A = this chain, B = another copy of it.
Amino acid sequence: MSFFEQLKFNADGLIPAIVQEQSTGRVLMMAWMNRASLETTLATGKTHFWSRSRKKFWMKGETSGHIQAVKDIAFDCDGDTLLIQVEQTGAACHEGYRSCFFRSVENGGPSFKITEPQLKPPGDIYGKGQP
């Protein structure tokens, strides 16, 4: 049986993909895939997503060089979420942090703190003219 038959894409044809660094267990980011980006991820061994804000197919690292080499693709009991194990080049986060989850709630909230160093300022990743 194909695992595609187990998956439930939402009304927009999308499924959330959690990306985890296999070597450390660190959760790096969450992004959305459509069927085409999942198929391309499988075919190339590099993560591809669908940007809901830009309405655009994109390869992680296409601008920054911070690609993700795919090691495993798991899916959950309901078939509505993917968990992708990768090895990450550079910073996963567009703000220059290793993980997008670089802020945690402090002492039960509502304050929060930054929990890891910024590897690079975003201007060094994408060029000064880009957001």
Contact = CB atoms under 8 A, between A and B. Distances in A.
Interface of A: 1-4, 6, 16, 18, 20, 24-27, 29-30, 42, 72-78, 81, 83, 93-95, 97, 100-105, 108-112, 115
Contacts of A2: 109-111
B115 A74 contact: yes
Copies of this protein in the complex: 2
B3 A111 contact: yes
Nearest to A105: B73
A76 B29 contact: yes
A100 B80 CA distance: 11
A16 B20 CA distance: 16
A15 to B, nearest CB: 11
Contacts of A93: 76-77
A5 to B, nearest CB: 8
Contacts of A102: 74, 77
A73 B1 CA distance: 37
Contacts of A6: 103, 112
A92 B110 CA distance: 27
Given A25-B25, A105-B3, A100 B73 contact: no
Contacts of A1: 111-112
